[in-house]
A and B are shown apart, each in its own frame.
Chain A
């Protein structure tokens, strides 16, 4: 079975990733603690989020060592979510505008 040969990583690898995740979490907490605002804040939040998610997925969940077929299974369907997010943000702006106009009239 491929599973057994996949698991021959030294424990040290997990400790390193663990420490890295700790550091990244501290960084993302500091974004709030230092009260960064605006575009800079959002960019930092997203960067730290994707780095953490990437580390958990690729090392802890072993996606890094899986075959491309599984990676496709996991990541291709997510494009539907990206489309949903884009459509919903357009729709949310529209809803907000309508509410705003309504409140102005009243």
Chain B
């Protein structure tokens, strides 16, 4: 079942698809909770894609110069101006939280619940750090740079609107994820899932990895482009 499929297995993969869809059974071989999380994430993908496409349109159609993000988001540390340093740290924090989440899922299926709870708490903590740093970044932009959703002193008016909408919506997802993780970690700890099994940890993980995935795209298109 590894990624290396030979020709016969590839053939049977498509036959499997046909069997899944045409057979007298449920199409997706997974629990409803996991499938619904996937469908939710697909719909969320559309929301973020439309936001990013709207950003592309605003930026391409703007006649004023688009502010240079590596200068806007630079921070002065020990006298040197380092471009994007806070954003880079936020990226590493989110990737680390994804790593701890993946391990939490693994330990949950092995039945090592103490480790699962610790790792989920660590994930939630890192997520909270991320939101905190984002709040710091917003404060800096609003107060020091004078960037507003309706305009800014640096160039194209649309910059503020796009920035606050996209990072705000992502930050909202991270905040919701922190709450979600905390609730599930608490319930795992108190033994709610002893009979049901621990797939809930995997479902929570899917959501959390998705938040990280969206950040990869925001980081590339908004901050680096």
Task: List chain A positions with a Cβ less than 8 A from chain B.
Answer: 1-4, 7-9, 11, 14-15, 17-18, 21-22, 25, 28-29, 31-33, 42, 45-46, 48-49, 52-53, 56-57, 59-62, 64-65, 67-70, 72-74, 77-78, 81, 84-85, 88-89, 91-93, 95-96, 99-100, 103
Contacts and interface: CB of A to CB of B under 8 A. Distances in A.
B96 interface: yes
A61 B138 CA distance: 30
Interface of B: 1, 3, 13-14, 16-17, 20-21, 27-31, 34, 38-39, 42, 45-46, 49-50, 53-54, 56-57, 60-63, 70, 83-84, 88, 91-92, 95-96, 98-99, 101-103, 105-106, 109-110, 197, 199, 202, 205-206, 209-210, 212-213, 216-217, 219-220, 223-225
Contacts of B202: 3, 7, 62
22 contacts: A4-B197, A14-B102, A17-B99, A18-B96, A21-B95, A25-B91, A25-B95, A49-B217, A56-B216, A57-B213, A60-B212, A61-B206, A61-B210, A67-B20, A68-B13, A69-B29, A73-B39, A81-B45, A81-B49, A85-B49, A88-B56, A92-B60
A88 B53 contact: yes
B94 to A, nearest CB: 9
Contacts of B101: 60
Contact of B27 (A9, A21, A45, A69): A69
Nearest to A98: B61
Nearest to A70: B28
A58 B17 CA distance: 19
A48 B28 contact: no
Contacts, number: 161
A40 B27 CA distance: 44
A73 B95 CA distance: 26
B159 to A, nearest CB: 15
Main secondary structure of the interface of A (DSSP, over half): helix
Given A29-B84, A68-B17, A14 B1 contact: no
Nearest to B12: A68
A68 B60 contact: no
Given A14-B99, A61-B209, A78-B45, A3 B216 contact: no
A24 to B, nearest CB: 9
B30 A88 contact: no
A73 B38 contact: yes
Nearest to A21: B95
Nearest to A87: B53
A84 B202 CA distance: 32
Nearest to A77: B42
Nearest to B91: A25
A84 to B, nearest CB: 6
A42 B225 contact: yes
